[in-house]
């Protein structure tokens, strides 16, 4: 755990399309640049001693975007899973992907399963990518799982066992880029007591210095969890 007790960092990676427009690039180039930022920041997050990193890559609502953009984002996920294996193994990072994955193609699901299995024993850090993900759906699905299990008594502690990833700890710090001030249906259960940090930086411009600035801001906060 870091000296600031930052165990779980979550990031809403927002601003790829606006970055593309601002820099006279295509949306495809904006999303590709955003994916490169992930690869660049992973070693930095690991070096800081953060054990869990969860990234919001594609929401359940994003399926409503133009088909060409959806196909591009699916291709980017496919390429990222393919190209990041070596980095994940080198840095001892376990990969998990959560969301409505039944909407993905069989070939992409097979590729995801392969890398998830390949990295399952890595213990330095866990990288979770939320793809085709919506927190309300996760909570509703968890309720259905409770009903299906026949469990008659539920508590906050055992409800967690029915979420997409029962091992995911509560979020300590949630960062959103691009100057938008909302959670957009991301980790509503897990981020109940998260510290929120918003920056005007567009995600493709976000770098290690920006990450450190967010963590320094977090370290100056006093977390009471409702107590005094």
Render pLDDT for 15-61 as a digit per residue (tens, 0 to 9): 999 999 999 999 999 999 999 999 999 999 999 999 999 999 999 99
14 is catalytic: yes
**pLDDT exceeds 50 at position 1:** no
pLDDT at 179: 97
- Which pLDDT band holds residue 224 (cuts at 50, 70, 90)? confident
How many Cβ atoms from other residues are within 10 Å of residue 189's Cβ?
17
pLDDT at 48: 93
Decide if domain 8-134+168-181+192-219 falls under CATH 3.40.1180.10: yes
pLDDT at 4: 64
pTM of the model: 0.94
Catalytic annotation, pick one of 14, 16, 172, 205: 14
Task: List 79's β-bridge partners, or say none.
Answer: none
205 is catalytic: no
State pLDDT tens for residues 73-112: 999 999 999 999 999 999 999 999 999 999 999 999 999 9
Measured distance CA(132)–CA(70) in Å, rounded? 11
State pLDDT tens for residues 168-182: 999 999 999 999 999
Catalytic annotation, pick one of 16, 23, 62, 210: 62
**pLDDT exceeds 60 at position 2:** no
């Amino acid at each position: 755990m870091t000296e600031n007790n930052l165990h779980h960092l979550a990031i809403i990676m927002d601003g790829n399309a606006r970055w593309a427009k601002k820099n006279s690039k295509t949306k495809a180039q904006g999303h590709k640049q955003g994916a490169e930022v992930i690869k660049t920041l992973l070693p930095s997050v690991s070096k800081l001693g953060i054990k869990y990193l969860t990234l919001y890559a594609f929401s359940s609502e994003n399926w409503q975007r133009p088909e060409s953009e959806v196909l591009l984002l699916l291709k980017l996920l496919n390429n990222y899973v393919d190209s990041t294996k070596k980095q994940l193994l080198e840095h001892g990072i376990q990969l998990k992907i959560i969301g409505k994955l039944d909407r993905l193609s069989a070939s992409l699901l097979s590729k995801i399963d392969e890398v998830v299995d390949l990295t399952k024993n890595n213990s330095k850090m866990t990288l979770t990518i939320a793809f085709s993900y919506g927190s309300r759906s996760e909570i509703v699905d968890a309720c259905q799982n409770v009903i299906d299990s026949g469990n008659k008594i539920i508590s906050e502690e055992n409800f967690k066992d029915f979420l997409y990833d029962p091992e995911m700890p509560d979020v300590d710090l949630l960062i959103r880029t691009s100057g938008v001030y909302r959670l957009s249906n991301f980790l509503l259960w897990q981020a109940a007591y998260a510290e929120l940090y918003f920056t005007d930086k567009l995600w493709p411009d976000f770098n290690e210095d920006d990450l450190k600035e967010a963590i320094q801001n977090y370290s100056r906060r006093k977390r009471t969890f409702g107590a005094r």
